[in-house]
Amino acid sequence: AQSVTQLGSHVSVSEGALVLLRCNYSSSVPPYLFWYVQYPNQGLQLLLKYTTGATLVKGINGFEAEFKKSETSFHLTKPSAHMSDAAEYFCAVTNINAGGTSYGKLTFGQGTILTVHP
Amino acid sequence: NAGVMQNPRHLVRRRGQEARLRCSPMKGHSHVYWYRQLPEEGLKFMVYLQKENIIDESGMPKERFSAEFPKEGPSILRIQQVVRGDSAAYFCASSPRAASLYGYTFGSGTRLTVV
């Protein structure tokens, strides 16, 4: 079974400060990892994903995340927060099944609400 | 290029009524996934369908919930005899193939309120 833990249900930063949202996963096989953002009353938008290859993944809106297998982590960062980054962020994981392909059932973390204050 | 369309956006039902939630995937997408987001929680997988087939319904409650994705038309998530605990946001996502390689496209959700 796979699981995702997001440390901190609420994170508050000042505009211009570093954003760090933590995600740890549990998976018995190589994971595919995702970060999604959800603005109020909207659906989820994909920020970035890791499947294979380079462990530092760059996404939209200046976000990036690094896959660290030894730490089972996939933390999301952004060097300088903007007011428009205020939203809820979800980390998610899926696995490759025994056949070598995955039909993509995602397991989500509980979410982290990011607040950006002036 | 329309995205994943869900309707209605908001749905209010009285206890005991039926709720029907619709999801039209992106053009060319034949894989549909339904997720439920309860208040203060993350999204939980419910069911995965391909055209005319249920592939994985391991996240669906055993009673009152059903899903379909017919050859023609949208995918439907049906909740019979709704109870207050069914109040949640229901999201649909679609993908052209094995989603983990390509990522999903999510709809804006249907927010169900049971009164």
Using CB atoms, pick whichever of B42, B99, B104 lies closest to residue A111: B42
Which pLDDT value is given to residue A80?
A: 97
Interface of B with A in 71-100 (CB under 8 A): 91, 93, 95, 98-100
Among B4, B100, B108, the residue with its CB nearest the CB of A32 is B100
Q: What is the mean pLDDT of residues A29-41?
A: 88
From residue B58, give the alpha-carbon distance in Å to each of A11, B45, B110: 33, 8, 21
Chain B residues touching A30 at Cβ < 8 A? none
pLDDT for A1 beyond 90: no
CB pairs under 8 A between A and B: 74
Q: What is the DSSP string of A58-92?
A: E-GGG-EEEEETTTTEEEEEESS--GGG-EEEEEE
The pLDDT confidence band at residue A36, using thresholds 50, 70 and 90, is very high
Residues in chain A: 118
Pairing of the two strands A10-14 and A112-117: parallel
Residue B71 DSSP one-character state: S
Q: Name the minimum distance, in Å, from the CA of B69 to any CA of chain A.
A: 16
| Least confidently predicted of A2-11, A16-25, B77-86 | A2-11
Q: Write the single-letter amino acid at A57.
A: V
Tell me the pairing of strands A44-50 and A56-58: unpaired
Cβ-based contacts of A109 with chain B (< 8 Å):
42
pLDDT over 90 (residue B101) = no
Closest Cα in chain A to B90: A43
Contact B42, B102 (CB under 8 A): no
- The overall average pLDDT reported for chain B is 91
What band does A112 get if pLDDT is binned at 50, 70 and 90? very high
Question: Looking at residue B111, what is its pLDDT?
Answer: 95
Q: Are A44 and B55 in contact (CB < 8 Å)?
A: no
Subunit contact B44:A108, Cβ cutoff 8 A? yes
In angstroms, the separation between the Cα of residue B103 and the nearest Cα of chain A is: 8
pLDDT of B105 reads 85
Residues with Cβ within 8 Å of A23's Cβ and at least 6 positions away in sequence, in order, are A4, A5, A6, A7, A33, A35, A65, A73, A74, A75, A76, A91, A109
Residue B115 scores a pLDDT above 80? yes
> Are the C-beta atoms of residues A93 and A27 closer than 8 Å to each other?
yes
Q: pLDDT tens digits for B23-79?
A: 999 988 889 999 999 887 789 999 999 988 998 899 999 999 999 999 999 999 999
Residues of B in contact with A106 (CB under 8 A): 33, 35, 43, 45, 99, 104
- Cα-based torsion angle of the residue sequence A75, A79, A85, A87 in order, rounded to the nearest 10 degrees: 20
> Residue A11: enclosing H or E segment and its boundaries?
strand A10-14
**Rounded to a whole number, what is the distance in Å from the CA of A46 to chain B's nearest CA?**
8
Position A99 pLDDT exceeds 80: no
Predicted confidence (pLDDT) at residue A101 exceeds the cutoff of 60 = no
The per-residue pLDDT of chain A, averaged, comes to 90
| Rounded Cα–Cα distance for residues A49 and A35 (Å) | 6
- From A90, which residue of chain B is nearest by alpha-carbon distance? B42
